[in-house]
Amino acid sequence: MRYKPEQRGTANGPVVQILTAIVAIVIGSSTWADDPIRVLIVDGQNNHDWRKTTPVLKACFEGTGRFKVDVVTSPEQNKPAEDWNAFRPKFSDYGAVVSNYNGQAWPEPVQKSLEQYVSNGGGLVIVHAANNAFPEWTEYNKMIGLGWRGPDYGDRVTVDKDGKVVRTEKNQGPGAGHGAQHEFVVIVRDRQHPVMAGLPTEWLHTKDELYHGQRGPAANMNILATAYSAKSSDGTGENEPMVWWIPYGKGKVFTTLMGHGDYSMKCVGFQSIVTRGTEWVATGKVTLPVPQKFPTPDASLSAAESK
């Protein structure tokens, strides 16, 4: 209802003024009515430079004002058992866990803790090489759906020119790999999903590794975006999944294969997807807006350039 000017002097006037004041207070207070989402980034081992990428991830999350971020760093490779015995992240304290880890297997209690956390409704976000990790961990492979595995591990998933999902059985076609780093166009496949809603259908991602031939059980896999792996860049000539999610128990596991280097993570498109995906797995909704300045199909855009 719209109030007419003459109504301001009526008995309803004070009520209207109070309501107006309340709305002004709410709008003028913190950007987010909800408490910040607590996020835990796990790093410490990776065949990629986690010392450079974790700070970019952390700043990306904190820059939205939506998250409060902690980082837990594992022991280095082949450290004594007592070091690993002290590595016990308390996943249940967080709305989402973001893995920037690819290294030796976690102790069994940590594995079981993550399984329980996600199964009970927690959110897990897998960034780039984190999908390379733990090939022997059965439940992890179920959670991520596809990983950096050989052709004999499981199915391969691609999307054909008509947008149809194609599954290739194990021992057929290539295993995991990537060509030379380059910019590539990301194609949004599910425009109705809350994470992808409002993003351009196609946009150019900055220099990165374009993974292909990922393998795994891929059960209940929901593909949100793909990229064309061009043979001219030593790719497969197929549309490879870049962003997807998988339900695991009551929880959700969200994967983005983008994010090889700190420069790759500075892409506005990457940052939008990883923050919106993290909010979604933690809360079931997305309130973070799509930036007004966003990559186009012909031009990539870094966070610094979008300011």
**CA 228 vs CA 15, 38, 179, 195, 253: distances in Å:** 58, 34, 12, 21, 23
Task: List, in sequence order, every residue forming a beta bridge with 208; answer none if it has no partner.
Answer: 182
Report the candidate in 133, 149, 81, 141 with the shortest Cα–Cα distance to residue 115.
Answer: 141
Residue that has been written with the tokens 């993003």 in this structure: 199
The one-character DSSP state at 47 is: S
**CA 12 vs CA 18, 20, 95, 286: distances in Å:** 10, 12, 43, 36
Within 8 A by CB and 6+ apart from 294, the residues are 199, 200, 203, 268, 269, 272, 301, 306
Q: How many Cα atoms sit within 13 Å of 156 on the Cβ side?
A: 26
The confidence score (pLDDT) of residue 33 equals 55
Residue-level pLDDT, tens digit, the chain, 307 residues: 222 222 323 333 433 333 333 333 332 333 455 799 999 999 999 999 999 999 999 999 999 999 999 999 999 998 999 999 999 999 999 999 999 999 999 999 999 999 999 999 999 999 999 999 999 999 999 999 999 999 999 999 999 999 999 999 999 999 999 999 999 999 999 999 999 999 999 999 999 999 999 999 999 999 999 999 999 999 999 999 999 999 999 999 999 999 999 999 999 999 999 999 999 999 999 999 999 999 999 999 998 888 7
Task: List, in sequence order, every residue forming a beta bridge with 212; answer none if it has no partner.
Answer: 177
Q: Which two tokens stand for residue 98?
A: 């973001």
Q: Return the domain boundaries, the chain.
A: 14-306
C-alpha–C-alpha distance, residues 224 and 88, integer Å: 32
Query: Per CATH, which fold does 14-306 belong to?
Result: Rossmann fold (3.40.50)
What are the φ and ψ backbone dihedral angles of 177, each rounded to 5 degrees?
-175, -175
The confidence score (pLDDT) of residue 5 equals 28
8 A C-beta contact, residue 42 and residue 127: no
Q: Which two tokens stand for residue 293?
A: 């300045």
C-alpha–C-alpha distance, residues 161 and 143, integer Å: 27
Q: Which two tokens stand for residue 112?
A: 């079981």
User: In degrees, to the nearest 5, what angle opens at C-alpha 156 toward C-alphas 129 and 167?
Assistant: 145
Q: 215-216 and 211-212: which strand pairing?
A: unpaired
- pTM for the structure as a whole: 0.89
